[in-house]
Amino acid sequence: MLMVSEEVREALAARRPVVALESTIIAHGLPRPRNLQVALELEDAVRQEGAVPATIAVLDGRAHVGLDKQQVERVANEDGIRKLGHRDLALAAATQASGATTVSATASLAALAGIRVFATGGLGGVHREWTVTQDESADLGLLARTRITVVCAGVKSILDVPATLQRLETLGVAVAGYRTDRFPGFYLSDSGHTVDWSLESPAQVAEVMRAQDTLRGPQSALVVANPVPREEQLDPSLHARVLADALQACEEAGITGQAVTPFLLDHLVRHTDGASLSANLAAVRGNVRLAARIAAAWAEA
């Protein structure tokens, strides 16, 4: 069952701007009590830009689009909150489970509720050694069939970035840099790879969204890749060194599947003295603010 909060429902009915926010960062991406502080901060940032935040999670089998403070606190503090991709939603509903939503689950539920703009940190993608592991995030396939605009800082730098960009192209997912022709690398402003398109303003992003609807093509997403400011990125040489160590540690520990990403991200936080976390949060804050401005431009259509 989809539970849309009264605030979000009223905003959508009145065509006011709404921004979907994932909850995995709250339950699994940050340590307590920082996670709750950041969750409330991100919602406040959306409001400061004149939009309504719609944080999404599943609680006791019910998918909630828009959480009140008590529900956010529950996601942040309750032990046993699962990590849910879109494939898990029906299972969680039927078993009355509670879980934080990843990019794929958040995008799916947001689109179901009628929300067009979604802000996150970095997308999932094709994992390194794909030819051996066949490990690819469910985010990509979901975005290929979901009409939503995702503002992100590229894909997580622990992934195979060029393979992910190729996969997005194959799936027909539009990717544009925001005021850049370089594809950002999550913690880094530049992943070392280019994008074919650059958009210069929230209004221009909204024009692309309108064109998507007018052309009536496949119901695929628009990825707006918004780089973390250079002055707030993780030092590239530190990133390269620690990531190499993290990948080796992951292999030696035999980590596979869904456990790979949290293992690598935790290794980066611990071995950069928290600098990777600071860069992550800087990226998320920028994405949330930009998404709110895009939602405002879209609401004016």
Crossing angle, helix 236-253 and helix 260-271, to 10 degrees? 130
User: Could you list the active site residues?
Assistant: 22, 156
Cβ distance 104 to 139 under 8 Å?
yes
Q: How remote is the C-alpha of 225 from its chain's centroid? A: 11
Pair type for strands 198-199 and 149-152: unpaired
Strands (E), the chain: 2-4, 18-21, 52-59, 62-65, 82-84, 99-101, 117-119, 149-152, 174-178, 182-185, 188-194, 198-199, 222-225
Q: Could you count the other beta carbons within 10 Å of the beta carbon of residue 132?
A: 8
